[in-house]
């Protein structure tokens, strides 16, 4: 495992790269969720699984998260798409990398889905794990994970679980064309969601399944939003199996 740093508009993004054997290999970009970081148990498990299948991976902290630069209150979904694009540029220029996959959890799933829609000719497969497309409706309704605000007069910041969430995050969330951009991707997609997800209603995963032309929907009975406990290995296995080499 190697630590990597990537520059994006004056910010340093910090990541971990897992290297497989061989000169040429596939690589997955792993994206964490809102307020999480690159070392969640789920992402680490997926990275380990992929390494065992000889697939490289890079997982990184979005701006305002983990070890990466930036303030949490300045983070937006568009800023995270810019982060992910910087990582994609890094992977794209690597002469060892053959196929590029995106795997995103929660808000990272939204970022992965939109990045794939912007680069449908570059991304070979996509895995969305409890993708948080609900964030748009939450912002329109003025209630984000239990924190209420006036959706027509959003303040500069909103307190959220020990963080300050930027008003610009909520303003941009209200107008994000999440499904419109995502559906431009026609490659294979695996959507993984727990039936007991209390953070993001599973109906948002089902909507992704409806708009895609080439997707499979995996509903894990009883799993929560983060696939904790007994569900972690199952979700990670579905994700890694979907992108493992066919030969």
Whether the per-residue pLDDT at 184 is higher than 90: the answer is yes
Full set of structural domains in the chain with CATH: 29-243 (3.40.50.1820)
pLDDT of the residue at 239: 98
Per-residue pLDDT band at 188 (split at 50, 70, 90):
very high
| Mean pLDDT on 163-169 | 96
Cβ neighbours of residue 189 closer than 8 Å, sequence gap 6 or more: 116, 125, 126, 127, 128, 208, 212, 214, 215, 216
pTM exceeds cut of 0.85: yes
pLDDT of the residue at 246: 67
| Mean pLDDT on 43-68 | 97
Strand stretches in the chain, DSSP E? 2-8, 11-18, 25-31, 56-60, 97-105, 123-129, 143-144, 147-148, 157-160, 163-166, 189-194, 215-220
pLDDT of the residue at 97: 96
| Mean pLDDT on 190-217 | 98
| Mean pLDDT on 195-208 | 97
User: b/e string for 3-25 if b means 16 or more Cβ within 10 A?
Assistant: eeebebeebebbbbbbebeeeeb
| Mean pLDDT on 211-229 | 97
pLDDT of the residue at 218: 98
Mean per-residue pLDDT over the chain, rounded: 96
pLDDT in tens, 113-143: 999 999 999 999 999 999 999 999 999 999 9
| Mean pLDDT on 5-10 | 97
Per-residue pLDDT band at 161 (split at 50, 70, 90):
confident
Euclidean distance between CA atoms 97 and 110, whole angstroms: 24
């Amino acid at each position: 495992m190697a630590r990597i740093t990537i520059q994006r508009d004056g910010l340093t993004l910090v990541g971990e790269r897992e290297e497989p054997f061989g000169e040429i290999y596939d690589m997955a970009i792993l994206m964490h969720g809102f307020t999480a970081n690159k070392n969640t148990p789920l992402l680490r498990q997926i990275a380990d699984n992929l390494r065992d299948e000889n697939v490289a991976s890079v997982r990184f902290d979005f701006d305002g998260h983990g070890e990466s630069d930036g303030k949490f209150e300045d983070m937006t979904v568009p800023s995270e798409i810019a982060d992910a694009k910087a990582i994609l540029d890094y992977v794209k220029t690597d002469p060892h990398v053959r196929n590029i996959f995106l795997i995103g959890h929660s808000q990272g799933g939204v970022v992965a889905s939109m990045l794939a829609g912007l680069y449908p000719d570059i991304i070979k497969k996509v895995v969305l794990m409890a993708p948080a497309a609900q964030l748009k409706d939450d912002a329109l309704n003025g209630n984000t994970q239990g924190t209420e605000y006036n959706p027509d007069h959003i303040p500069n910041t909103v307190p959220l679980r020990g963080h300050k969430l930027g008003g610009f995050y909520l303003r941009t969330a209200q107008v994000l064309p999440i499904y419109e951009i995502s559906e431009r991707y026609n490659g294979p997609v695996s959507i993984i969601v727990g039936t007991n997800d209390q953070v993001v209603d599973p109906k948002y995963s089902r909507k992704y399944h409806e708009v895609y032309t080439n997707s499979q929907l995996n509903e894990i009975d009883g799993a929560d939003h983060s696939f904790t406990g007994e569900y972690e290995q199952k979700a990670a296995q579905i994700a890694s199996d979907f992108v493992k080499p066919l030969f």
